[in-house]
Amino acid sequence: MDNQFIMQFFEWNIENDGEHWNRLKQDALALSKAGMGAVWIPPCAKAAQQNSVGYDVYDLYDLGEFDQKGTVRTRYGTKAQLIEAIGEAHRQGIRVYADVVLNHKAGADATEKFLAIEVDPNDRNRELSQPFDIEGWTSFTFPGRGDHYSGFKWNYTHFSAVDRDGLTKRNAIFKVYGEGKVWAEGVDNEKGNYDYLMSADIDYNNEIVVEEVKRWALWLIETLHVDGFRMDAVKHIDEGFLKGLVDHVRGKTSPDFFVMGEYWHADQARLNRFIDDSDQALQLFDVALHFRLVEASRRGRDYDLTHLFDDTLVSTNPFRAVTFVDNHDSQPGEALESWVEDWFKPIAYAMILLRKDGLPCVFYGDYYGINGGPASKKAQLDPLFYARKALAYGEQVDAFDHANVVGFLRKGDMEHPDSGVAVVASNGEEGTKRMAFGPERAGRTFFDLTGNRGETITLDQDGAAVFTVNGGSVSVWADEAHRDWASRE
């Protein structure tokens, strides 16, 4: 089995030109050749704002098909273009994961009057008022779509809270009042209970809602033939509902249907608790590792690289960790800005792509560049992709024994010719690391796939050598047999 990795195929600032699904279609062949096994595409449902990235979801059944919110297409294109792009990705052997936003809805068609209780934004369990009438944006009737695909219309009984009262024209957190209206269980305990995030929060204590959303999930899979979900904001969604949804989808499609969740928390214990409580139903992004990488990139040589993987999800639960360096939220200027500085990016990517643990997810903004921001790092990433695809197999031997220069080696396997790789990274001066592949590789010559070092290194009779690295850099040493890697398919 070849190593897999995912690309997050969008960044926050990509052009609002309706051409993004076409970009995926055009690039599918190149991405497949680069080794991508899967892409995570941005939210594809009609959003409240045409120019938004899509997390302010309005109509889950409008994938760029109906004239709603002043537009047929979404920021990314039309439903027909999306289906074509997914078809092309599949032809190139790339699986497609949909970004599923199920915590909230935005852009309601009309307001409704209903009873609500204002709660403390910092402690959602603390009620600040008696029930009183508010006017909230909770009526979703989808006039542009009508009853196509689903006749379900949303009203305030389907939500747990809103953030705006039209009567008093105030913004606050207004919890819907009524029988069975309680915050979700199994959400993050920050702010007392972190069920509420934004807009109109969907109430999964309401069985009617649960059934409708389960039905939608299968409709989406049948319509787009996606191979997995990236689930947004899972720390704000009822855990029992999430697990039930995943079980339902896997029961109706395949037990291998892939699901990864976004649980934005730097503490691996919190991530692991969620994974345990959801009976291992979801993979999670390794947010803990992301923050290690951020810190290392900011502190430069003052950071002790031997601690890079301490208390991360990938080190504590390797089979459940989706490792990543940055994403659309952590990129400069965005909600969770925590950018891994550019000088450290090649080291960070070598650390997630070439080690044995974790499923890596590469950020579009790093590969293609960010519109109006940091430039493309394609030239630095392509050799790492090749190394992941062709070389990074077999036993892993760590040499995390120096604060500023660390290394590890993959010994290779029989299935991948001349595989194996020696990785050395430095956040300080130029350095070296002695590592051994074993006597069966004695006499082989190695070169630096990244091109950062120009020399070749010949292994001694034990298959060992002193591998070099430049200051503040990474080198990926590979057998000379792979010298022509860039021209290989």
Element at 468 (helix H, strand E)? strand 464-469
Q: Which of 11, 27, 88, 232 is catalytic?
A: 232
Q: Give, rounded to a whole angstrom, the gap between the first and last alpha carbons of the chain.
A: 18
Identify whether the C-beta of residue 472 lies closer than 8 Å to the C-beta of residue 370.
no
**Minimum CB distance to Ca ion smaller for 68 or for 103:** 103
Binding of Ca ion at residue 201 (CB under 5 A)?
yes
CB 195 within 8 A of CB 133: no
Backbone angles phi, psi at 364, to 5 degrees: -50, -45
Pairing of strands 200-202, 283-285: unpaired
Give me the phi and psi of 243, to 5 degrees please: -65, -45
CA 358 – CA 353 distance, rounded (Å) = 8
Binding mask 63-102 toward Ca ion (x if CB under 5 A, else -) reads ----------------------------------------
- CA dist 474 and 380 (Å) reads 10
| Contact yes or no for 371/460 (Cβ under 8 A) | no
Q: How far is the CB of 237 from Ca ion (least distance, A)?
A: 5
Question: For this structure, is 262 an active site residue?
Answer: yes
Q: Which is nearer to Ca ion, 186 or 472 (CB)?
A: 186
Q: Tell me the C-alpha distance between 60 and 65, whole Å.
A: 11
* Nearest distance in Å: CB 190, Ca ion: 13
Q: Which is nearer to Ca ion, 210 or 293 (CB)?
A: 210
Instruction: Fill in the per-residue mask, 234 to 253: x = in contact with Ca ion (CB under 5 A), - = not in contact.
Output: --x-----------------
User: Of 11, 262, 326, 366, which residue is the catalytic one?
Assistant: 262
Rg value, the chain, Cα: 24
Quick one: angle between helices 345-353 and 287-299, nearest 10? 150
Spatial contact of 379 and 386, defined as CB atoms under 8 Å apart? no
Asked if 3 interacts with Ca ion (CB under 5 A), we say no
Cβ at position 159, least distance to Ca ion in Å: 9
Stretch that binds Ca ion, among 20-28, 111-119, 233-241, 366-374 (CB under 5 A): 233-241
Size of the site for Ca ion (CB under 5 A): 4
Question: Coil, strand, or helix at residue 255?
Answer: coil
**Cβ 201 to Ca ion shortest distance, Å:** 4
Contacts to Ca ion from residues 97-156, by CB under 5 A? 103
**Residue 74 parent element (H or E):** none
Least distance between Ca ion and beta carbon 82 (Å): 27
Looking at beta carbons only, is 201 or 448 nearer to Ca ion? Answer: 201
Min separation Cβ 195 and Ca ion, Å: 4
Q: Is 395 a catalytic residue?
A: no
Task: Name the residue nearer to Ca ion (CB basis): 201 or 262.
Answer: 201
State in angstroms the smallest separation of the CB of 31 from Ca ion: 34
The residue (of 10 and 204) whose beta carbon lies closer to Ca ion is 204
Q: Rounded CA gap, 64 and 73, in Å?
A: 4
Q: Comparing C-alpha atoms, which of 90, 106, 73 is closest to residue 37?
A: 90
Cβ closest to Ca ion, residue 195 vs residue 366: 195
Using the contact rule CB under 5 A, the part of the chain among 12-20, 65-73, 188-196, 336-344 near Ca ion is 188-196
Q: Is 195 in the site for Ca ion (CB under 5 A)?
A: yes
Give the residue from 353, 384, 347, 380 showing the smallest Cα distance to 472.
347
Residues labelled catalytic: 232, 262
Kindly list the residues in this chain that would bind Ca ion in the complex (CB under 5 A). Answer: 103, 195, 201, 236
